[in-house]
């Protein structure tokens, strides 16, 4: 392994190590009044990691490949429902359901990609098609008995390693962190691979890439399939953590928005952008909720969305390369 290769992966190792050590600070954070308890901290961190996974999935197709999707909920929901339905209706082990959910999500991505890319849909047309698919899936899931219809699907609480349900909240945190670490490494490998170069070429100028011999359809199909599979894993982990899924959770616009915003805020087309963006968006959103609740004695619904909007405007206005680009600029001074 060359020194350049070691340096490329050192930052990932340091970031994961820092996140892995966070639980050691829980007593201090709870003692300082920043969290109501250890479970509150772990629930927030696990949610951030799940959104990071979905955002990293979006980043492959949208960030590196330039195929902006407004409907990654279609893949998140497929993974979430597959994880729930396989366990509750077919008795599949939770660990075995997870790769099945990933494969099913990837299959959905491939089918949508074939339909959209063969029709030469680009830009806003592709974005609207993905949004339409997510909405169709939401309506179907809401009306289909196998998904539990409007009542949704509840995964029984059976704590045990074999059920992927852990008594200690830190265990699921480390499980989600392991998936995030894996995708960070995958993205770094992608950046340094020939396929990654083709993907960026398609993003920058698809016609020119095709003229140079790049099979743009094949590249885009691989990207959307991989992107969908990773996002489906995020959905499966969501179900496994919260043990419940319905159509509005699985295929709701909220996950498409968060998967899209995190890379844009953090740094689109970068390895750490989705992670940094998810931490900033969700962390500031939760902080705003806490501050307003403390000031006024009651919650203000939607205040986190206000924070998302303000942060997005600030990033677009003052940091077009995202928080990663801003940090690099500040570090270079």
Task: Indicate the pairing of strand 153-154 with strand 244-245.
Answer: antiparallel
Q: Supply the pLDDT for residue 297.
A: 67
Contact, 252 vs 309, CB < 8 A? no
**For the chain, domain boundaries:** 40-331
∠ CA(313), CA(314), CA(316), 5° rounding? 65
- Phi first, then psi: give them for residue 319, nearest 5 degrees: -145, 70
Residue 1's pLDDT is what? 60
Q: Among 1.10.443, 3.40.50, 1.10.3470, 1.10.150, what is the CATH number of 40-331?
A: 1.10.3470
β-sheet bridge partners, residue 244 = 154
Give the per-residue pLDDT at 333. Answer: 54
Angstrom CA distances, 267 to 77, 94, 188, 276, 324, stand at 25, 33, 14, 8, 5
**What's the pTM?**
0.92
pLDDT for the residue 162:
87
Three-state DSSP at 154 gives strand
Which residues, at least 6 apart from 170, have a Cβ–Cβ distance to it below 8 Å?
Answer: 23, 42
Chunked into runs of 10 residues, the chain (333 residues) has average pLDDT values of 71 92 88 82 94 96 92 96 95 95 96 92 90 95 90 92 90 96 94 93 92 92 96 96 94 92 92 93 83 71 77 83 86 63
What pLDDT, on a 0 to 100 scale, did the predictor assign at position 332?
A: 63
**Residue 173 exposed, middle or buried by CB count within 10 Å (0-12, 13-18, 19+):** buried
């Amino acid at each position: 392994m060359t020194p350049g290769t070691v340096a490329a992966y050192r930052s990932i190792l340091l970031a994961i190590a820092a996140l892995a050590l966070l639980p050691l600070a829980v007593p201090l954070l709870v003692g300082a009044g920043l969290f109501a308890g250890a479970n509150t901290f772990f629930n927030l961190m696990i949610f951030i990691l799940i959104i990071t996974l979905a955002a990293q999935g979006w980043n492959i197709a949208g960030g590196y490949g330039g195929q902006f999707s407004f409907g990654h909920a279609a893949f998140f929901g497929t993974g979430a429902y597959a994880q729930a339905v396989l366990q509750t209706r077919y008795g599949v082990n939770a660990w075995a359901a997870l790769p099945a959910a990933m494969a099913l999500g990837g299959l959905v991505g491939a089918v949508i990609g074939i339909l959209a890319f063969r029709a030469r849909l680009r830009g806003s047309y592709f974005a609207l098609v993905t949004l339409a698919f997510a909405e169709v899936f939401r309506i179907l899931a809401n009306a289909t008995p196998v998904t539990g219809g409007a009542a949704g699907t509840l995964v029984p609480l059976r704590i045990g390693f074999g059920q992927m349900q852990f008594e200690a909240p830190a265990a699921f945190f480390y499980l989600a962190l392991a998936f995030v670490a894996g995708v960070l490494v995958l993205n770094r490998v992608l950046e340094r691979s020939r396929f990654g170069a083709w993907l960026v070429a398609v993003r920058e100028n698809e016609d020119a890439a095709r003229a140079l011999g790049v099979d743009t359809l094949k590249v885009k199909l691989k990207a959307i399939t991989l992107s969908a599979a990773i996002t489906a894993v995020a959905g499966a982990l969501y179900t496994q953590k919260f043990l419940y899924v319905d159509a509005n959770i699985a295929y709701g616009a909220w996950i498409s928005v968060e998967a899209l915003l995190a890379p844009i805020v953090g740094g689109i087309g970068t390895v750490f952008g989705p992670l940094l963006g998810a931490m900033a968006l969700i962390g500031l959103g939760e902080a705003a909720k806490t501050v307003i609740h403390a000031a006024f004695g009651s919650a203000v619904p939607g205040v986190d969305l206000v924070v998302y909007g303000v942060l997005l405007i600030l990033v677009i206005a003052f940091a077009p390369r995202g928080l990663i680009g801003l940090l690099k600029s500040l570090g270079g001074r």
